[in-house]
Amino acid sequence: MAKKKKVIVLGCGRVGARLARTLVEAGHEVIVIDSNADQFRRLGEHFPGKTVMGDGLDIDVLAEAGIEGADVFVAATNGDNTNAMSAQVACRRFKVCRSIVRMYDPIRAGAYREEFGINTICPTEIVSDLIQREIEEGA
Amino acid sequence: MYIIIAGGGKVGYNLTKILMDKGHEVTLIEKDKARYAELSEELGDSVLWGDACEVSLLKDAGCNRANVLVAVTGDDEDNLVICQMTKAMFIEKTRTIARVNDPKNESIFVELGVDTTVSTTRVIDALIEEKIESEMLLPLTSLGKGNLEIVQVELSKKSKSVGKKVRELTLPDETILIAALRGDQALVLKGDVDLIADDTIIALTTKENERKLRKML
């Protein structure tokens, strides 16, 4: 296994929850934050990681979650802007500058990648490119 | 000046009207369609319907010739992104002003490149505090050229000095407590007088020490 990492996952939706589970299975330390505690059900019954209910934009919530000393910050909420802001707060306030941020809007994803040096992943681009490839190359 | 305002709530709407009255060219962007309809009935073409976080909309709003962009939506993350996208995608030197709903975000916004932040909570707190403070200390008269003054300070149950003797108080430099008005009595404030709530203290102090005196009492 790769070196054990401490990962903060903001947003316990489909992507956040699945990622948290697979990271834990791979032996990493995972802390999941979501403002809606119901979302933690997605993690399954015996999730060994830590869950924190609260607003991921709130500096106090991030501190309480134990962001200090984390290796990676993942922002996977439904809000592009929440993700953009929380990743910048994580870097500025808590020196957790390795972040991976989901952004649905390709233009924002591009701008934050190029102008702000944030590692953004844009599912809109990826999925539409895949579909187009299927259309053009598929039998 | 050309000013773009993102967010047509009470703040954005009033700001738009004030700036228009002063002769500025203003575009107001509102995301909610029903609210947009309301606003455009009064402000006409100056209102645009859409999400100010979308670059295409900022472009339609004329962001590439804006002098100032003001983001006053109710969501801090939106206000931050609107300001950052304006500078990153259009003109770097466009002045950006963001409303900060959570006062904790003020300093981080500045670090992240927003030129000016306005925290409604902090502004209101400061105004109320100032009002309370100014009501608690009243200058009665000034002596000489105004460097010394006689002031009146009302004590409340929460005042630090209540329950203490005059000699136990720490006072700022160049300050003397003269008398206390208690009910219809006036007492000379010697060292052994106990201060109680609702006393009105008459003191001699300097303009510079006025604030300190109020805090210490």
**Which of A59, A66, A20 minimizes the C-alpha distance to A43?**
A20
Per-residue pLDDT tens digits for B189-210: 999 999 998 899 999 999 888 8
A-B contacts (CB, under 8 Å)? 53
Euclidean distance between CA atoms B205 and B210, whole angstroms: 6
The pLDDT of residue B126: 82
Task: Indicate the DSSP class of residue B87.
Answer: H
The pLDDT of residue A70: 97
Write out the E strands in B34-119: 47-49, 68-71, 95-100, 116-119
Nearest CA in chain A to B111: A92
Number of neighbours of residue B37 by Cβ within 10 angstroms? 12
Which residue positions in chain B have pLDDT lower than 70? 133-135
Cβ-based contacts of B112 with chain A (< 8 Å): 88, 92
CATH of the domain at A48: 3.40.50.720
Among 3.40.50.720, 3.40.1190.20, 3.40.50.300, 1.10.10.10, name the CATH number for the domain at B2-114. 3.40.50.720
Q: What is the pLDDT along chain A (139 residues), one digit of tens a residue?
A: 578 999 999 999 999 999 999 999 999 999 999 999 999 999 998 999 999 999 999 999 999 999 999 999 999 999 999 999 999 999 999 999 999 999 999 999 999 999 999 999 999 999 999 999 999 987 5
Helix, strand or coil for residue A8? strand
Ordered by start, the domain boundaries in chain B are: 2-114, 135-216
A1: in domain = no
CA distances from B113 to A90, B13, B59, B116 (A): 16, 25, 20, 9
> Do A79 and A35 meet the contact criterion of CB atoms below 8 Å apart?
no
Number of neighbours of residue A109 by Cβ within 10 angstroms? 23
The pLDDT of residue B131: 73
Tell me the residue range of the domain where A66 lies: 6-137
Question: Number of structural domains, chain A?
Answer: 1
Chain A, 81-110: which have a CB under 8 Å from a chain B CB? 81-82, 84-86, 88-89, 92-93, 105, 107-108
The pLDDT of residue B134: 64
Topology classification of domain B135-216: Alpha-Beta Plaits (3.30.70)
Cβ-based contacts of A115 with chain B (< 8 Å): 88
> Which residues fall within 8 angstroms of residue A60, CB to CB, at 6 or more apart?
B104
The pLDDT of residue A1: 58
**ipTM of this predicted structure:** 0.90
Question: Which tokens is B80 given?
Answer: 């931050």
Helices B76-89 and A106-116: crossing angle in degrees, nearest 10, is: 70
